[in-house]
Amino acid sequence: MQISFEEEQQVFHLYNDKISYVIQVEKQRYLKHCYYGKRIKRWHSGIKDYYYDRGFCANPIAEDRTFSLDTQLREFPESGQGDFRSPAYELEDRNGDKNARFFYNGYRILSGKIAPDGLPHVYTDADTEAMTLEITLQDKVRNQRILLYYTIYEDAVVTRFAKWINDGTEPIEICRFLSMNMDLPTQEYDVLTLSGAHTEEKNVYRRPLCADSVTIESSRGTSSPQATPFIGLLSPGTTEEQGEVLGVNLIYSGNFYGCVQCGQYGTIRVQLGINPYQFGWQLSPGSSFCTPEAVLVYSVNGLAGMSNTFHKLYRTRVCRGWYRDRERPVLLNSWEGMYFEINEEKMLTLAEEAAELGIELLVMDDGWFKGRNTDTTSLGDWTEDKKKFPDGLQSLAKKVKQKGIDFGIWFEPEMISRESDLYREHPDWVIRSPFYEPILSRHQLVLDLSNPAVCEYLIDAVSKVLVSGNISYVKWDMNRHLTDLGSAYLDRKNQNELSHRYVLGLYRVMETLTERFPQVLFESCSSGGGRFDAGMLYYMPQTWTSDNTDAVCRLKIQHGTSLLFPTVTMGAHVSACPNHQVGRTTPLATRFAVAAAGNLGYELDLKKLSKEEKEEVREQIAEYKRRRRTVQFGTYYRLADSFQENQSAWNIVSEDGMEVIFTHVQILARSAYRVPVIRLKGLDPDAVYIDCETGQEYGGDELMYAGIRIPRIRQDFSSTTMVLRKS
Ligand code: DGJ
């Protein structure tokens, strides 16, 4: 990768074998976005665009009526100077004046990566993996600087964030400060977003752009189940394999805002960053503020190309730690099998049964701590319930381990119940307004993580439980959103900082704990995928994908999640039927087929399984372990764009290309059966593959071009899986 600056044309060119990103300094002041896409050799500045004398245009250079900021393609637009589209930043001074004039004022080209302070980001293992461009914008009147950082890697990826530095003598308030802005010259795109709800996360929505704008946002305090900080721009007709895609994702777990805004004259503006709603940051003289990092992936190979780039990047350069490259254990989680009805005896029986089936980790979910028999009490009191665990937690963990299985535990550290010792001791530690009764959600309140004392308490409380060394897994849950924004810790003038400070506090807590307990596997959860984002993955390398464990619903959820996130980050469990969320009964084999596309777990009462079902589960686990490396670290392909057509299919190719796992799920059986033809992807066309079960040989070219024909199964929710080996 390289970054060049052509002095004469004032052109920055970031490039590698695959992509080019071009920025130009215009009129010695303004940054123009020239290009982001497939690699070009050189930007010749031959295209003299956007210089027209148009109505209602403000002209910052009075003698040139053809130059207006409103019609230019901008890189990081301000407010109040005649660009009437959405600004990337805005300030307010003590007197309520919001005007500012930030102009270009130099650059640096650096080898390696510059990271945003205190925030998760794409990291590098060596400086040779990346190059960074730092561009300075300066307001000389107010003595403020904004530094724009662009990092280019070997893959088709550019990451961006911005840093604001107050060099002045007066404090200012940052009212808006997005991570990225990019204006593109055409509206010929489909916009793809991932929206949803609790138990229906990450549904894929795609629509052509009209003259209107598309906005996405969360103001819930987390990235949320409702929206995902992701925008996909697809050239018309783009499919899984073909077409141009530009995907922008934010590495952040809090409130965000993103938009694709149509300009008056056929251009668009793409933005992503912290949600300016309920945000403000007091920047005192000498201090700085960094935005979260945005990841811009470019693909010429359709959605699959985009996803594969995100997967590789997130798996190897966002996820960290001991588990990054290690296979994840098959687990049994107590929640859907027992809910709050747990105790030592039950857990030990479960451990025995689970170990006997080949399960490697027993996770004790909610209900283990002091007085926690319903969801109305005890959050914050992270010591065991003596009635349920008379010998204590550590003794239980030890006994579970002696049964040949690892032990893991559930926490919801960011929360507090009114009915808890912690609340009685520290009523001022909750997020609330000083004037009104705080609003409950799931009977609980949110701890004020902007307060360092609260963060210290959390680190301490969780550490005390983990320190014995017998707990090898933590499920970190978060089951409500932020209301009544108010902090007893922050000054009045800093109250608008609360939502972002909450996220910063959380990141600090997670950083400390994951560093302190490097061999504990942390899985994040927020009522399922309510905070399944790249920010959390920086600390916790896997996420509970959804509270919806129904195999059919999971097809859609995992399909949407796979747009951005690799299989190894997705927790997926086989649960009981009728399913607890939707009441559906699906075959055990299909529940497994769907869960086996992620990190496999079971979440049911093993006692209720028949002898035959137990045998089936034992075989499933053995089979999963055989193919686990491929599932968790292989390349994942969505097949046939087929979800809407009563089916879903995917194949995963192992890192060395030797193994291929293909799965097809038919949703409803139909009488007038039409044989689905599914073409596999990512295979070697010149190789021969052998079906491990039947010994049947297939050419890689046959499988990819002619495809597999799915035999008829007269049963709803049936599945077909083939494991193929390259010969
Ligand atoms: C929500 C999670 O998503 C569930 O899996 C379970 O852990 C419950 N919370 C426990 O309260």
**Which atom of ligand 1 is the closest one to the Cα of 475?**
7
Report CA(477)–ligand 1 centroid distance (Å): 7
127 neighbors 109 (Cβ within 8 angstroms): no
What's the angle, vertex CA 169, arms to CA 167 and CA 174, rounded to 5? Answer: 65
Structure tokens at 275: 């949600």
Q: Residue ranges of the alpha helices (H) in 331-440?
A: 335-338, 344-357, 393-402, 421-425
What's the angle, vertex CA 19, arms to CA 16 and CA 25, rounded to 5? Answer: 95
Q: What percent of the chain has pLDDT over 90?
A: 97
Report CA(468)–ligand 1 centroid distance (Å): 24
List the residue whose alpha carbon is closest to atom 6 of ligand 1: 335
Whole-number average pLDDT of the chain: 97
> Rounded mean pLDDT of 612-617?
98
Report CA(366)–ligand 1 centroid distance (Å): 7
Choose one of 374, 410, 478 to mutate for the ligand 1 pocket test, by most ligand atoms within 8 angstroms of C-beta: 410
Report CA(326)–ligand 1 centroid distance (Å): 25
Token pair 């890689």 in the structure block, residue: 700
Report CA(479)–ligand 1 centroid distance (Å): 8
- Buried b / exposed e along 399-418 (16+ C-beta atoms within 10 A): bbbebebbbbbbbbbbbbbb
List the residue whose alpha carbon is closest to atom 10 of ligand 1: 366
pLDDT digits (tens, 9 = 90+) for 501-552: 999 999 999 999 999 999 999 999 999 999 999 999 999 999 999 999 999 9
408 neighbors 473 (Cβ within 8 angstroms): yes
What are the CB-based long-range contacts (under 8 Å, 24+) for 457-460?
457/422, 457/429, 458/413, 458/414, 458/509, 459/509, 459/512, 459/513, 459/516
List the residue whose alpha carbon is closest to atom 4 of ligand 1: 527
Structure tokens at 359: 């399960």
At the topology level, CATH places domain 647-726 in: Immunoglobulin-like (2.60.40)
Give the separation between CA 58 and CA 66, rounded to whole angstroms. Answer: 10
* Short-list 507, 579, 528, CA closest to 550: 579
What's the angle, vertex CA 246, arms to CA 212 and CA 1, rounded to 5? Answer: 145
pLDDT digits (tens, 9 = 90+) for 128-173: 999 999 999 999 999 999 999 999 999 999 999 999 999 999 999 9
**Which atom of ligand 1 is the closest one to the Cα of 410?**
7
> Rounded mean pLDDT of 40-57?
88
CB-based pocket (< 6 A), ligand 1: 335, 365-366, 410, 477, 479, 525, 527-528, 544, 547
**Which atom of ligand 1 is the closest one to the Cα of 544?**
3
Distance, C-alpha 461 to centroid of its chain: 27
> Is the confidence at residue 644, as pLDDT, over 80?
no
Q: What is the pLDDT of residue 513?
A: 98
CATH number attached to the domain at 2-317: 2.70.98.60
Distance, C-alpha 719 to centroid of its chain: 28
**Phi/psi of residue 541, nearest 5 degrees:** -80, 5
List the residue whose alpha carbon is closest to atom 11 of ligand 1: 366
**Phi/psi of residue 246, nearest 5 degrees:** -120, 115
Choose one of 375, 544, 575 to mutate for the ligand 1 pocket test, by most ligand atoms within 8 angstroms of C-beta: 544
Kindly report which listed range (246-260, 493-507, 629-643) carries the lowest average pLDDT score: 629-643
Distances (CA, A) of 602 to 331, 333, 617: 6, 6, 9
411 neighbors 476 (Cβ within 8 angstroms): yes
Report CA(526)–ligand 1 centroid distance (Å): 8
List the residue whose alpha carbon is closest to atom 3 of ligand 1: 527
Token pair 């959860």 in the structure block, residue: 525
232 neighbors 191 (Cβ within 8 angstroms): yes
Whole-prediction pTM: 0.98
Structure tokens at 331: 């687990």
DSSP state of 644: G
pLDDT digits (tens, 9 = 90+) for 369-412: 999 999 999 999 999 999 999 999 999 999 999 999 999 999 99
Report CA(544)–ligand 1 centroid distance (Å): 9
* Short-list 82, 259, 260, CA closest to 187: 260
Choose one of 334, 547, 557, 581 to mutate for the ligand 1 pocket test, by most ligand atoms within 8 angstroms of C-beta: 547
689 neighbors 703 (Cβ within 8 angstroms): yes
**Which atom of ligand 1 is the closest one to the Cα of 365?**
7
* Domain residue spans of the chain: 2-317, 647-726
* Short-list 171, 184, 112, 108, CA closest to 142: 171
> Is the confidence at residue 642, as pLDDT, over 60?
no
Q: Which residues contact 476 (CB under 8 A, 6 or more apart)?
A: 411, 412, 413, 510, 522, 523, 524, 525, 540
Distances (CA, A) of 712 to 97, 455, 646, 655, 715: 70, 56, 14, 32, 9
Q: What is the pLDDT of residue 49?
A: 73
Give the separation between CA 78 and CA 81, rounded to whole angstroms. Answer: 7
Structure tokens at 432: 């609330």
What's the angle, vertex CA 360, arms to CA 354 and CA 365, rounded to 5? Answer: 70
> Rounded mean pLDDT of 353-359?
98
- Quick one: three-class SS letters along 450-495? CCHHHHHHHHHHHHHHHCCCCCCEEEECCCCCCCCCCCCCCCHHHH
**Phi/psi of residue 47, nearest 5 degrees:** -85, 105
> Rounded mean pLDDT of 270-289?
98
160 neighbors 170 (Cβ within 8 angstroms): no
Q: What is the pLDDT of residue 324?
A: 98
DSSP state of 702: I
289 neighbors 163 (Cβ within 8 angstroms): yes
Give the separation between CA 33 and CA 539, rounded to whole angstroms. Answer: 33
Give the separation between CA 383 and CA 464, rounded to whole angstroms. Answer: 9
> Is the confidence at residue 643, as pLDDT, over 70?
no
Is the peptide bond prior to 578 cis by the omega test (within 30 degrees of 0)?
A: yes
**Which atom of ligand 1 is the closest one to the Cα of 526?**
3
**Which atom of ligand 1 is the closest one to the Cα of 547?**
3
List the residue whose alpha carbon is closest to atom 9 of ligand 1: 527
Give the separation between CA 332 and CA 600, rounded to whole angstroms. Answer: 9
Q: What is the pLDDT of residue 46?
A: 80
Q: What are the catalytic residues?
A: 477, 547
* Short-list 455, 471, 477, 453, CA closest to 517: 471
Q: Confidence band (pLDDT; 50, 70, 90) for 641?
A: low
